[in-house]
Chains A and B, each alone.
Chain A
């Protein structure tokens, strides 16, 4: 038993095969995510371990196995690091140390880190304040956006002026692509800009006069004794779906041009729909307490690996070209 344990943790051969096993389970996981994406939609919105706790399904087995195997590689990595230090092997010691630091950073991220995607509509609407549950003190107001749209339909030079509340103090900032904004412990990243449906204006006719009924998306329209919620529309706006409340009765209505619409005690004819589309920004709000650790550890790993690469490539090149058997 002692011999098995010793070879399990001290023999590099086992570590090599375990890394191969991690690859295998990752491939399985990649295909599971690809063919079953709905089950993994919110994987980043919670710390990974919390997500795993609340999603104990058979198809998540690979995450548990990879976590377990990384635990094993952490132990063997630590043993290898000790051996490297003892034998004064600089490059290997740095590789194992930084690998362990990256593993530690990922452990912290898996315990506490998460990321939420938000669509923020312009400031004129009260919904522009984002307060997702974990971000109680983070409020962002989207004030204005500048962008160009080229002939290919691509939005370029996107900039969004925002106001955010940082511990109850109002601050201004400009978000742009590839330029995350750090607000206290969070990073806010502007991902894209897009056109979003803000409201639908419905032209209605009572036989004498025409009126415009404006239904804002996500907001209840209230008048007299009734209220209307906009629910959905088809892509061509030839039909919209609303829910109509009056005297405690709820009714789902599908309206098309020419439909009869009874509002309170009056009947109208729907003459047409006019969607109101506004630009909105898509931001990611990220919390990752180990971000700097990952960055510095991976940078050190990459730099030392690059130096080692150069050193070994020069040696390899010299050896390889000493006796070239060029094909001719």
Chain B
């Protein structure tokens, strides 16, 4: 029953991808996921970014919201954005949605939602940069999106560092997830310097694709397939 808004969202995304690409379909899908996230926030009394189910939906929601504001220039870009969100939402339909109403003490801090939400918003920017690059190869837009992602990711990393120190006594614990978070930051810090390069378009193109692979590996690869103390 809880997954009903997701089925609704999937239908509209499928419509947008296969039948008639329309911005309204993306907006309805976005609102459906938003309803689900709001419902879970109300029922479970926490910001809905705990566990695979919620993070997948939050990630998809963030892509749709940011995508709405930055306005796709080409039908292919709009379609690829919807395909990516469809994959995330479709994946979440098979993920366990039940959640404990009790949070561990370490998660009861405002730094936790800031850290996770900003991280996923930044992932959404990086994803949109990737989609932009493969759909139209607009290096300037991709560069801007990478920069926004980097800035938002920095806020998430800053909140996460302070929270980690308060909860675990260190802002960096040499775990694979944290090292990869550091990699994302330093990689995109390098990538935003590319605008000063001589042959920048090709570097931005391939750099954005590699960056996206690192981001997805950090989220899905490490979170799901590798044992680590850090949650998703």
Residues of A within 8 A of B (CB): 12-13, 15-20, 22-23, 26-27, 29-31, 33-34, 40, 43-44, 115, 117, 150-152, 154-158, 176-180, 187, 189, 191, 283-286, 291, 294-295, 298-299, 301-302, 305-306, 308-309, 312-313, 316-317, 320-321, 324-328
Contacts and interface: CB of A to CB of B under 8 A. Distances in A.
A44 B164 CA distance: 14
A27 B180 contact: yes
Contacts of A324: 71, 73
Interface in B48-73: 69-73
Which among B105, B106, B182 has the greatest number of chain A C-beta atoms within 10 A? B105
10 closest A-B pairs by CB: A284-B169, A19-B190, A177-B105, A189-B169, A309-B151, A30-B179, A16-B193, A12-B196, A23-B187, A327-B75
Interface string B143-169: 010011001101100100111011111
Interface of B: 21-23, 69-75, 78-79, 100, 102-106, 108-109, 141, 144, 147-148, 151-152, 154-155, 158, 161-163, 165-171, 173-176, 179-180, 182-183, 186-187, 189-191, 193-194, 196-198, 214, 226, 228
A29 B105 contact: no
A324 B190 CA distance: 31
Contacts of B168: 189, 191, 284
A22 B179 CA distance: 11
B193 A19 contact: yes
Nearest to A326: B23
Contact of B144 (A12, A22, A150, A316): A316
Secondary structure call for the B interface: helix
B144 A16 contact: no
A309 B152 contact: yes
A110 B194 CA distance: 30
Contacts of A151: 102
A152 B78 CA distance: 43
17 contacts: A15-B190, A19-B186, A26-B183, A152-B100, A154-B104, A156-B105, A177-B167, A178-B106, A178-B163, A178-B166, A189-B166, A284-B170, A309-B152, A317-B70, A325-B73, A327-B74, A328-B21
Given A284-B169, A324-B71, A40 B154 contact: no
Given A309-B147, A324-B73, 16 more contacts: A15-B193, A26-B182, A27-B183, A33-B174, A43-B174, A44-B170, A150-B102, A155-B104, A298-B158, A302-B155, A302-B158, A305-B155, A309-B152, A320-B70, A326-B23, A328-B22
A132 to B, nearest CB: 13
A326 to B, nearest CB: 5
Contacts of A40: 174
Contacts, number: 162
Contacts of B72: 326-327
Nearest to A193: B105
A30 B180 contact: yes
Given A13-B196, A13-B197, A40-B174, A306 B74 contact: no
Given A16-B193, A19-B190, A302-B158, A30 B183 contact: yes
A75 B174 CA distance: 26
Secondary structure call for the A interface: helix
Nearest to B73: A325
Which among A151, A317, A320 has the greatest number of chain B C-beta atoms within 10 A? A320
B70 A301 contact: no
Contacts of B162: 295
Nearest to B100: A152
Contacts of A313: 148
Contact of A115 (B155, B161, B169, B187): B169
A40 B178 CA distance: 15
A20 B189 CA distance: 9
Contacts of B100: 152, 154
B154 A33 contact: no
Nearest to A18: B190
A26 B175 CA distance: 11
A158 B105 contact: yes
A326 B71 CA distance: 7
Contacts of B194: 16
Contacts of B189: 19
A26 B186 contact: yes
A33 B176 contact: yes
A72 to B, nearest CB: 13
A16 B203 CA distance: 11
